[in-house]
């Protein structure tokens, strides 16, 4: 029971970190970046290569991974989405799916379809003993990382000039422009942050579940998107809550109901929540503005 | 008086809709100039084009002698021209103070305290409510916030798009008094209004816009007396 809860929170924390990327990008660019899950995969591969190929210490590998994904996020936004700023949301969605396939196939070319075994980067750290339950270091670090990221983002969006500008852009791009805010740069910045977080999520995910292949990011990406919607898309605490709840529901579903059905249960819960509260748990109504 | 803003033969389209059909006007330093006209005449289109939100098909927009043609709105603000848009468009989920801070986005942080003090002096209500979420303010207060926010960028030219829209008469009076105060403190004003009577009462000069063309222009008090204007815009 306790072990399942801890596993659920840990998996959920990974979802939450990914969901933060979805939710920030949605909040500001009003688009679903379906390629977000694949950025996780790229992040994991970069860290993998740095550790096993170059022999870098894990911390440096993570930093490299964050750097690569941050730049990747900016490039994806600039090349694929920026030209579509005034296009229909369907066109943007299809493009996002295209970017997702592109990243997966690029990974296939670079790293082949052979499954890589991701190293346990926290192997040196001791496990935590909670009664009769052992908590693996990766679990603890994932949960801590989630909390730190959430606090940092909350601080960033509520206290810094750039963060407040992001909120302004998310509310009303035209009015934000009139304040002198460069909307394109702000959107680009949001992709950078979301993608950098995706890299961290990728490393944590693959440390906990060490199989790495070009499709590794796809399912967690969809789950995290679900988590973002579940918590209320656009809301930072919502992404955290949605992610953690989703992880817990998934692990409990697996443990007590059915391994095969656990994903179905996750999506069923999402549908029920959306029927009762269409804006998600912590979401608020968005007023559409020109 | 120096010419602050000069618009020459401006043409603006929405797709194939020809909204502004070659208008020219100017605003001199220290003036209050008003652009009046019925709903749909093209007042907002004009202001939004000057402010950089819309692109003109052709024509010139000279601000302090420099051509702004094609310059995006975020850079226009930094040049010293602010637009307080129609419908106020305050950031509903942000606090009053955060809205004002956004107004000062282009300015150095060292100015902030001083700018805030000036805005609070014009709008004491905003100071009382600085911590309140903007979406919970009344319509009049939101209008004050929109104006205060625009002032935070320390514009030399302030453009106001229908500041009286949807406000009770007593508030309209108050808003127009504040516009006059802003002007007295040195801000040049380009005011767009459907409330022609109020607009003409505070303005030095006026232009009348009719379906994308300027049909009349002149001294505001003279226009207020003209039969044509009385019939069309002042209800008799
Ligand atoms: N986004 C838009 N798309 C197409 N036509 C528009 C748009 N905005 C305004 N118009 C048209 O342009 C003309 C001028 O509108 P506007 O500048 O908003 O007038 P006003 O501010 O004087 O009420 C109107 O005929 C209006 O229908
Ligand atoms: Mg208008």
**What pLDDT is attached to residue A289?**
39
Is residue B40 in contact with ligand 1, taking CB distance under 6 Å?
Answer: yes
- Arithmetic mean of pLDDT, A93-114: 95
CA distance A69 to A71: 5
Kindly tell me if the per-residue pLDDT of B232 is higher than 90. no
Are B188 and B100 in the same domain? no
In chain A, which residues have their Cβ closer than 8 Å to the Cβ of B90? 175
Are B185 and B234 in the same domain? yes
CATH number reported for the structural domain that contains residue B64 in this entry:
3.40.50.300
Q: Which of residues B124, B153, B182 is at a domain's end?
A: B153
CA distance A189 to A160: 14
Ligand 1, closest atom to CA B46? Answer: 17
- Residue B142 lies in domain: 86-153
Kindly tell me if the per-residue pLDDT of A234 is higher than 90. no
**What pLDDT is attached to residue A280?**
85
- Arithmetic mean of pLDDT, A59-74: 97
Question: What fold characterizes domain A2-276?
Answer: ABC transporter involved in vitamin B12 uptake, BtuC (1.10.3470)
**What pLDDT is attached to residue A282?**
86
Is residue A58 within 8 Å of residue A120, measured between CB atoms?
no
Are B146 and B166 in the same domain? no
Is residue A180 within 8 Å of residue B72, measured between CB atoms?
no
Are B192 and B228 in the same domain? yes
- The 8-class DSSP code of residue A34 comes to T
Is residue B153 within 8 Å of residue B183, measured between CB atoms?
no
Are B116 and B227 in the same domain? no
Are B117 and B143 in the same domain? yes
**What pLDDT is attached to residue A290?**
36
| Closest in A161, A182, A289 to B74, CB measured | A182
Cross-sheet strand order for the sheet of B58-63: B17-28, B3-14, B58-63, B66-67
Model pLDDT for residues A91-101, shown as the tens digit of each residue: 999 999 999 99
Is residue A219 within 8 Å of residue A34, measured between CB atoms?
no
Kindly tell me if the per-residue pLDDT of B93 is higher than 90. yes
Q: Taking Cα atoms as reference points, which of B11, B28, B21 lies closest to residue B65?
A: B28
- Arithmetic mean of pLDDT, B171-181: 95
Pick B11 or A30 by higher pLDDT.
B11
- Arithmetic mean of pLDDT, B134-142: 95
Are B34 and B134 in the same domain? no
**What pLDDT is attached to residue B216?**
92
pLDDT band at B235 (very low <50, low <70, confident <90, very high): low
Number of structural domains (chain B) is: 2
Q: Calculate the CA dihedral of residues A35, A38, A42, A47 and round it to 10 degrees.
A: 130
Counting Cα atoms < 13 Å in the Cβ hemisphere of B235 gives 5
Model pLDDT for residues A250-261, shown as the tens digit of each residue: 999 988 888 888
Q: Which of residues B125, B153, B181 is at a domain's end?
A: B153
| Closest in A165, A171, A172 to B105, CB measured | A165
Is residue B48 in contact with ligand 1, taking CB distance under 6 Å?
Answer: no
User: Ligand 1 center to residue A60 CA distance, Å?
Assistant: 55
CA distance A258 to B117: 63
Which tokens sit at B3?
């010419």
Which tokens sit at A196?
């950098």
- Arithmetic mean of pLDDT, A107-115: 94
Are B147 and B98 in the same domain? yes
**What pLDDT is attached to residue A54?**
94
CA distance A2 to B193: 66
Which tokens sit at A217?
């990011």
**What pLDDT is attached to residue B236?**
52
Kindly tell me if the per-residue pLDDT of A88 is higher than 50. yes
Q: Which of residues B112, B131, B153 is at a domain's end?
A: B153
Model pLDDT for residues A127-173, shown as the tens digit of each residue: 888 888 888 899 999 999 999 999 999 999 999 999 999 999 999 99
Are B22 and B137 in the same domain? no
Min distance B26 CA to chain A CA atoms (Å): 21
Are B114 and B162 in the same domain? no
User: Cα–Cα distances in Å, from B4 out to A186, B33, B121, B136?
Assistant: 31, 11, 26, 37
Is residue B105 in contact with ligand 1, taking CB distance under 6 Å?
Answer: no
Q: Where are the domains of chain A?
A: 2-276
pTM for the structure as a whole: 0.91
CA distance A133 to A112: 38
Are B125 and B72 in the same domain? no
Which residue in chain B is spatially nearest to A172 when comparing CA positions? B91
**What pLDDT is attached to residue A276?**
86
Model pLDDT for residues B19-41, shown as the tens digit of each residue: 999 999 999 999 999 999 999 99
User: Ligand 1 center to residue A124 CA distance, Å?
Assistant: 66
**What pLDDT is attached to residue A285?**
63
Are B227 and B166 in the same domain? yes
Min distance B167 CA to chain A CA atoms (Å): 21
**What pLDDT is attached to residue B34?**
97
- Arithmetic mean of pLDDT, B104-111: 95
Lowest mean pLDDT among A172-176, A179-183, A262-266, B130-134: A262-266
Is residue A198 within 8 Å of residue A30, measured between CB atoms?
no
């Amino acid at each position: 029971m306790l072990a399942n809860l801890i596993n659920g929170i840990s998996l959920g924390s990974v979802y939450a970190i990914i969901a933060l990327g979805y939710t920030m990008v949605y909040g500001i660019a009003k688009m679903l970046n379906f390629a977000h899950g694949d950025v996780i995969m790229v992040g994991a591969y970069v860290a993998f290569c740095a550790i096993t190929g170059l022999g870098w210490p894990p911390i440096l590998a993570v930093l490299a991974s964050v750097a690569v994904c941050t730049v990747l996020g900016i490039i994806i936004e600039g090349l694929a989405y920026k030209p579509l700023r005034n296009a229909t949301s369907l066109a943007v969605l299809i493009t996002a799916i295209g970017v997702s396939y592109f990243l997966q196939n690029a990974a296939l070319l670079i790293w082949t379809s052979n499954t890589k075994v991701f190293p346990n980067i926290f192997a040196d750290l001791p496990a935590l003993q909670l009664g009769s339950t052992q908590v693996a270091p990766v679990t603890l670090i994932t949960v801590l990382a989630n909390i730190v990221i959430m606090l940092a983002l909350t601080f960033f969006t509520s206290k810094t000039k750039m963060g407040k500008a992001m909120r302004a852009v998310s509310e009303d791009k035209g009015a934000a422009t009139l304040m002198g805010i460069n909307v394109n740069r702000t959107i680009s910045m949001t992709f950078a942050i979301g993608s950098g977080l995706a890299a961290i999520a990728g490393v944590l995910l693959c440390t906990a579940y060490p199989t790495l292949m070009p499709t590794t990011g796809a399912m967690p990406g969809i789950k995290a998107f679900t988590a973002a919607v579940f918590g209320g898309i656009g809301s930072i605490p919502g992404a955290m809550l949605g992610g953690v709840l989703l992880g817990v529901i998934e692990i409990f579903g697996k443990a007590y109901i059915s391994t095969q059905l656990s994903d179905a249960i996750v999506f069923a819960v999402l549908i029920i929540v959306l029927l009762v509260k269409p804006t998600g748990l912590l979401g608020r109504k968005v007023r559409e503005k020109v | 008086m120096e010419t602050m803003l000069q618009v020459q033969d401006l043409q603006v389209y929405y797709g194939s809709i020809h909204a502004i059909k070659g208008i020219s006007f100017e605003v001199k330093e220290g003036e209050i100039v008003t652009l009046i006209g019925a709903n749909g005449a093209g007042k907002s289109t004009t202001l939004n084009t000057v402010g950089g939100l819309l692109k003109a098909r052709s024509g010139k927009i000279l601000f302090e002698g420099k051509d702004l043609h094609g310059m995006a709105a975020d850079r226009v603000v930094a040049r010293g021209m602010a637009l307080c848009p129609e419908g106020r468009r305050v950031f509903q989920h942000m606090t009053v103070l955060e809205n004002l801070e956004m107004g000062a986005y282009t300015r150095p942080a060292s100015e902030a305290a001083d700018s805030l003090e000036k805005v609070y002096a014009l709008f004491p209500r905003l100071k009382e409510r600085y911590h309140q979420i903007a979406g919970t303010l009344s319509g009049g207060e939101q209008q004050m916030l929109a104006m205060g926010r625009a002032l935070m960028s320390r514009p030399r030219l302030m453009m106001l798009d229908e500041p009286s829209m949807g406000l009770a008469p007593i508030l309209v009076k108050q808003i127009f008094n504040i516009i006059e105060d802003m002007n007295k403190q040195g801000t040049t004003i380009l005011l767009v209004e459907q409330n022609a009577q109020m607009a003409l009462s505070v303005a030095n000069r006026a232009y009348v816009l009719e379906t994308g063309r300027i049909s009349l222009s002149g001294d505001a008090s003279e226009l207020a007396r003209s039969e044509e204007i009385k019939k069309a815009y002042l209800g008799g």
